[in-house]
Amino acid sequence: MRALKIAAAMFLGFAVATPLPGKAAENQPKELSPPGVEAQKQQPVRAAIDVPVYKPRKQSTPRGRVGGGIRGGDAPALYVLAPDHVGFTKDEQPPLYWYLSKTTSLPLEFTLIDTRAIRPLLETRLKPPVQPGVQRVQLKDFGLKLEPGVQYKWFVTMVLGPEASSKDIVAGGTIERLSLIEALPHLDVAKNGEAVFRYAEAGLWYDAIAMVSDLIEKAAPDDRKYRKQRASLLQQVGLWEVARSDSPE
């Protein structure tokens, strides 16, 4: 049963350890200002920052991401767009994003697990992507809703074949929905580019990624602003290969 193999991956902890965003920021050299320009710099911090800064809500549950970029033969790299710790959302049916480096004819499966239960909430075959890059799973398509305060594990599996099931490529993350009280300050966030910054600052990883990905879909093909924002978020949680697909230059 593929769910048992996924559980084994969780137990063995095939997680990608990445430095915390705050630590990376501490190592950045400070830029010295020429004399006489300090007065010009008395502006809101946001004006000087064109990418969102993700601030995790808590780090008490590390190893929230498994797999990531593991290749089998000619199989493409597979990642989930999740942090290496529990990622939060305010939504009961958030979209979940994952990444495939190139198209494949190999079967792909999606699994959602309630950590309180033995059996998965959902095991389903995904439609093969028509093009590589960032992909999306909509929980609402399956009638699934996340309960507040519950951790869920979600996985995308590339099935290499019955005879090589032990070599299937598994990538997964952990998501938790905020309680109503915790989510209230974020329910009225406008559906625009500013929301990406506010969600990231509030530690709502899945909402920030969903918002910026939606803006990318709606933006003009030559508009790189939102792709730069998503690439920055991905870099902050160690998803470097996925980030490069958004900023190849």
Q: Which residues contact 34 (CB under 8 A, 6 or more apart)?
A: none
Please check the confidence at residue 97 and state whether its pLDDT lies above 80.
Answer: yes
- The superfamily CATH assigns to domain 2-17+51-242 is Immunoglobulins (2.60.40.10)
CA-wise closest residue to 10 among 78, 79, 65, 87? 65
C-alpha–C-alpha distance, residues 139 and 61, integer Å: 24
Give the three-class secondary structure for 6: helix
C-alpha–C-alpha distance, residues 70 and 190, integer Å: 37
Give the three-class secondary structure for 60: coil
Please check the confidence at residue 128 and state whether its pLDDT lies above 50.
Answer: yes
First to last CA, the chain: 42
What's the pLDDT at 73? 62
Q: pLDDT tens, 147-168?
A: 999 999 999 999 987 765 567 8
In the chain, where are the structural domains located? 2-17+51-242
Which H/E stretch holds residue 24?
helix 21-26
